[in-house]
Amino acid sequence: MMCPMRSRDNAEILLDYCARTLPAETLERMDAHVGTCKACQGELAAQQQVWSALDEFDASELNISPDFDRRLYARIEAEHQDPFWVRGWRKIFASGQPGGWRPAFTMGLAAVAVAVFLMVRMPSEPVAVPESTVAVEAAPAAVKTAAVDSQDVERLDKALEDIEMLHLLGSNGANNSNAL
Amino acid sequence: MSVAAAIEHDAQLMLRVRDGDTASFALLLERHRVPVIHFVYRMIQNQAVAEELAQEVFLRVYRSRATYEPTAKFTTWLFRITTHLALNWIRDQKNERRQQSLDSEAPEGTAPLQVADGVPNVEQGMLRSARLDEIRRAIQALPDKQRAAVMMHKYEEMDYTQIAGALGCSESAVKSLLFRAYESLRARLAHLNRGVSE
- Domain B1-103 - what CATH class? mainly alpha
A72 touches chain B (CB under 8 A): yes
Domain ranges of chain B: 1-103, 120-198
Contact flag A96-B136 (C-beta cutoff 8 Å): no
Nearest residue, CB atoms, B63 vs list A21, A46, A90: A90
Tell me the three state secondary structure of residue A127. Answer: coil
Quote the CA–CA distance of B26 and B62 in Å, as a whole number. Answer: 10
Which of A30-44, B9-23, B74-88, B101-115 is predicted with the least confidence, judged by mean pLDDT?
A: B101-115
**Cβ of B42 under 8 Å from any chain A Cβ?**
yes
State the Cα–Cα distance between residues A1 and B151, nearest whole angstrom.
30
Q: Is the pLDDT of residue A96 over 60?
A: no
Query: Please, which residues have CB within 8 angstroms of residue A9's CB and are 6 or more apart in sequence?
Result: none
Specify the pLDDT at position B169.
Answer: 93
Residue A177: the pLDDT is: 46
pLDDT bucket at A14, cuts 50 / 70 / 90? confident
Residue of A nearest to B69 (CA): A97
Instruction: Look up the ipTM and state it.
Output: 0.77
Distance from CA of A111 to the nearest CA of B (A): 25
Kindly write down the DSSP assignment for every residue of A22-48, as one continuous string: S-HHHHHHHHHHHTT-HHHHHHHHHHH
Highest mean pLDDT: which range of A10-19, A109-118, A135-144, B114-123: A109-118
B119 touches chain A (CB under 8 A): no
Task: For the domain covering B120-198, report its CATH number.
Answer: 1.10.10.10
What mean pLDDT comes out for the span A45-65?
86
pLDDT in tens, B3-32: 556 567 899 999 999 988 999 999 999 999
Q: Between A84 and B87, where is the model more confident?
A: B87
Q: Would you say residue A64 has pLDDT above 80? A: yes
State the amino acid at position B39 in one-letter form: F
The 8-class DSSP code of residue A72 comes to H
Res. A136: pLDDT tops 60: no
* Residue of A54, A55, A77 to mutate when probing chain B, most B C-beta within 10 A: A54
Task: Name the residue among B166, B6, B13, B25 with its Cα closest to residue B82.
Answer: B166
Q: Which of A21, A49, A101 comes nearest B193 by C-beta?
A: A49
Q: Does A82 touch chain B (CB under 8 A)?
A: no
DSSP of chain B, one letter per residue?
A: --HHHHHHHHHHHHHHHHTT-HHHHHHHHHHHHHHHHHHHHHHH--HHHHHHHHHHHHHHHHHGGGG--TTS-HHHHHHHHHHHHHHHHHHHHHHHHHHHHHHS-PPSS-PPPP-----SSHHHHHHHHHHHHHHHHHHHTS-HHHHHHHIIIIIS---HHHHHHHHTS-HHHHHHHHHHHHHHHHHHHHHHHHHHH-
Q: Say yes or no: do domains B1-103 and B120-198 share a fold.
A: no
Mean residue pLDDT across chain A = 75
Residue B92, pLDDT > 70, answer yes
Q: Do the chains contact at A64 and B159, CB–CB below 8 Å?
A: no
pLDDT, chain B, mean? 85
State how far the Cα of B34 lies from the Cα of B136, in Å rounded to an integer: 20
